[in-house]
Amino acid sequence: MSCISRLFLACIACTGLAFPSYAEELTGTLKKIKETGAITVGHRESSIPFSYLDDQQRPIGYAMDLCMKIVDAVKTELKMPDLKVNLQPVTSSNRIPLLQNGTIDLECGSTTNSVQRQQQVSFGPTYFVINVTAAVKKSSKINSLADLNGKTISTTSGTTSVPLLKTYEKTQNAEIKEIYGKDHAESFLLMADDRSAAFVMDDILLAGLIANSKSPAEYKIIPESLRQEPYSMMLRKDDPQFKSLVDKTISGVMKSGEIEKIYAKWFTSSVPPKGINLNFPMTPAIREAFKNPNDKGV
């Protein structure tokens, strides 16, 4: 090697420069965030305790806490400590389109990771596992899924409960009339006001809505399940750079044991705004998801 070559390499080392590599160039969501100076987090307004509004109309919850871990990781990765964080409410119906068109960069709520949805979006590691079932009034005399035959039930537009109900009707030769709420709060109200006999949704969301209702003792959740489903945060499809950061961040929270504290904060402790404890300890399926982080859909 000539003296000039050695001098050139020494100069590079001293200045901290490196030859550009396509693998190191920002792409997808991280590139968008770097260029705009902001990240937009999509959140729900009534998915207790995952993503909902407190008494100051600020989005809080289990999913929000996890997504803020991702926001912090983005700040570190991009060396942008003052990164602007925009909060955008989404619904079951518009969450995927708003993610795809760039309105939001990350969706933090109560979204099921399904194989069908994976054709449109990607998911981070599973952070909760639920059972799809029904909430009813204790006075309804509905004790099983079979008792829904001939009844009107409510569910939320754009959720996996809709196709599950249709499959159940077909396979069980059941006749069920469905009416749809725009969000979980409205769907629950349809049942509470006797416009439907049952509200079919994820068990933990039903538990949250019942606990925060005016008369929790009036309601119950039937023990049967239409399907077990994993929840996770949504991100844009075909964005390996951002997905890698999301996976590393959330897997780290799980492997370190920090997830235990975050879970206890929202599921076995009093939560805002009413200070109600959902008393929903970790199930074996949830513990397994934390032990072996994965993004498998149903």
Q: With bands split at pLDDT 50, 70 and 90, how would you rate the model's confidence at 23? A: very low
Q: Are residues 89 and 220 in the same domain?
A: no
CATH number at residue 260: 3.40.190.10
| Structural domain range at position 245 | 19-127+232-291
Residue with tokens 């590691």: 125
> Each residue of 216-256: pLDDT tens digit?
999 999 999 999 999 999 999 999 999 999 999 999 999 99
Q: Are residues 27 and 39 in the same domain?
A: yes
Q: Are residues 23 and 122 in the same domain?
A: yes
Q: Are residues 134 and 82 in the same domain?
A: no
Assigned domain for 162 exists: yes
pTM for this model (two decimals): 0.83
Q: With bands split at pLDDT 50, 70 and 90, how would you rate the model's confidence at 162? A: confident
Q: What is the pLDDT of residue 21?
A: 35
Residues 263, 264, 265, 271, CA torsion sign: positive
| Sequence-separated (6 or more) residues with CB below 8 Å from residue 157 | 91, 92, 93, 180, 181, 182
Q: Are residues 123 and 144 in the same domain?
A: no
